[in-house]
Structure 1
Amino acid sequence: MENAVEKIKVWFRFVPREGWLPQDTEGLWATRLGEDTARVQNAPFLQDGVAEGDVVRFETGADGLHWAAGRVSSSGNCTIRVVPVPSGPLGRSARAVHQRLSAFGLGGEVFSAEFPMVAFTAPAGADFAGIKRLLEQGEREGWWHHEVGCGTEEWWSA
């Protein structure tokens, strides 16, 4: 019998940002790789410095929760967060944000209907320069606000 892939939730702690969401933890789904390592399986909405596909080390607390203790290796993927401007041409539509970025084949998840932030994974080897141009155009034209939650050297130099 093959070993089943064990999915776990790895929790991250951080200081909430002023004027941002009030959470100070975020749980990300991950595939357990070893006793204390796991590969992140989704794009983080709040945690900076980690992207889908990265390997993290964790410690299991007395409460049974797995708490991130640092990144072991980078996947080369980047995390991009986009929030549509409610009064802009896209309105509050996370779907419109997805459609604008669809040419780049980015996977993304929506935070909530009330707060339609989309967290995208820009995979290693993607057209980072093209994605950055479109993100900047969207800012200039009032479509959205964006931030890079996790960028690689390739992202920053594109």
Structure 2
Amino acid sequence: MADSKVLFRVVGEDGDVHVETLWATALGEDRYRLDNLPFHAYGVSWDDIVLAPFDATEDMATFQHVVTKTGNRTVRLLLDPPVSPGNASDDVLQELVALGCDYEGSNRVRIAVNIPADVSLDSIREYLIARELVWEHADPTYETLFPDNPC
């Protein structure tokens, strides 16, 4: 059960800094197990264990690095139209669930999708591309997956 928050600072392409706090379970020795999906942070996924010492300036545990990857992967979607029961965006989410994923929404448009270790990332990518959705790799990042093919 999540009992803490871990702060992530994410520098965007435009130089803006996004602050995100993820629910986490404290494991001791400044380690935390992430209990929700990231909407801004890259390179972390649900259930990963991270090192996040308390930062007096931030007044909370602040992400330093991943200690243990769990095999979960994260992609993020921007859905149009906004999700509503029975619409095309809801159909996309229900199909992702049928493929073995789960998801979390920051709102009805911005959705983070968890791809468990036993679900093929390639099959999920193929599905998203075939549906012509707006999405991004968050963990692993596009650059990690395709280092020789910059976007």
Matched, 1:137 2:126: no
C-alpha distance in 2 between matches for 1:111 and 1:81:
11
C-alpha distance in 2 between matches for 1:40 and 1:47:
12
Q: Cα–Cα, structure 1 residues 124 and 24, in superposed 2: closer, same or farther, change >3 Å?
A: same
C-alpha distance in 1 between matches for 2:112 and 2:31:
23
**TM-superposed deviation, 1:23:** 5.5
Q: Cα–Cα, structure 1 residues 6 and 45, in superposed 2: closer, same or farther, change >3 Å?
A: closer
C-alpha distance in 1 between matches for 2:17 and 2:39:
11
- Partner residue of 2:47? 53
Q: 1:121 aligns with which of 89, 114, 118?
A: 114
- Partner residue of 1:151? 140
Unaligned runs of 5+ in 2: 84-88, 147-151
Residue pair 1:52, 1:77 contacting (<8 A) in 2 also: yes
Q: 2:22 aligns with which of 18, 22, 28?
A: 28
C-alpha distance in 2 between matches for 1:151 and 1:119:
13
- Partner residue of 1:111? 106
TM-score by length of 2: 0.80
Number of residue pairs matched by the alignment: 138
C-alpha distance in 2 between matches for 1:35 and 1:14:
24
CA RMSD of aligned residues (A): 2.4
Structure 1 stretches of 4+ moved >6 Å = none
C-alpha distance in 2 between matches for 1:131 and 1:75:
18
Residue pair 2:2, 2:35 contacting (<8 A) in 1 also: no
Unaligned runs of 5+ in 1: none
**TM-superposed deviation, 1:58:** 0.7
How high is the sequence identity, in percent, across the aligned residues? 31
